[in-house]
């Protein structure tokens, strides 16, 4: 990538809108669901899948299901988007996570 193209790509990345929210990871084979919060919903799936593929996910239950049923059995779901990440305090994300954990009967990751 040339200097001008690279600068344009970096500028576009910095200008992108970040969306905070609540997500779920579901194992289709078992129906089990794990729920979490993220300050950027667009990047969290890649981070989780990377850890699961490497076998280094810090949460033992989704890692065990990943090993048993494989990557094709896993689905990423955006549960709720919170407007204006800069204005969404961590407390709001925790409150929404607690709400959805009960509503979906899911384990927090």
Secondary structure (3-state) at 18? coil
The per-residue pLDDT for 88 is 61
The per-residue pLDDT for 84 is 63
Whether 12 is covered by a domain: the verdict is no
Whether 43 is covered by a domain: the verdict is yes
CATH assignment of the domain containing 30? 3.40.1440.10
pLDDT beneath 70, residues of the chain = 1, 84-88
Instruction: Return the closest-CA partner of residue 106 out of 40, 47, 59, 45.
Output: 59
> How many domains in the chain?
1
The pTM score is 0.82
The per-residue pLDDT for 91 is 85
The per-residue pLDDT for 1 is 66
Cβ neighbors of 40 (< 8 A, separation 6 or more) are 18, 19, 20, 85
């Amino acid at each position: 990538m040339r200097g001008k193209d690279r600068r344009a790509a970096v500028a576009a990345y910095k200008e992108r809108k970040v969306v905070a929210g609540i997500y779920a990871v579901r194992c289709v084979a078992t129906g089990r669901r794990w729920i979490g919060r993220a300050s950027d919903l667009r990047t969290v799936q890649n981070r989780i899948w990377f850890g699961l593929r490497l076998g280094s996910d810090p949460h033992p239950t989704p890692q065990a299901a990943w090993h048993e049923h494989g990557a094709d059995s896993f689905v990423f779901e955006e549960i709720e988007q919170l407007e204006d990440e800069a204005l969404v305090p961590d407390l709001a994300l925790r409150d929404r996570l607690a709400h959805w954990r009960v509503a979906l009967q899911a384990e927090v990751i």
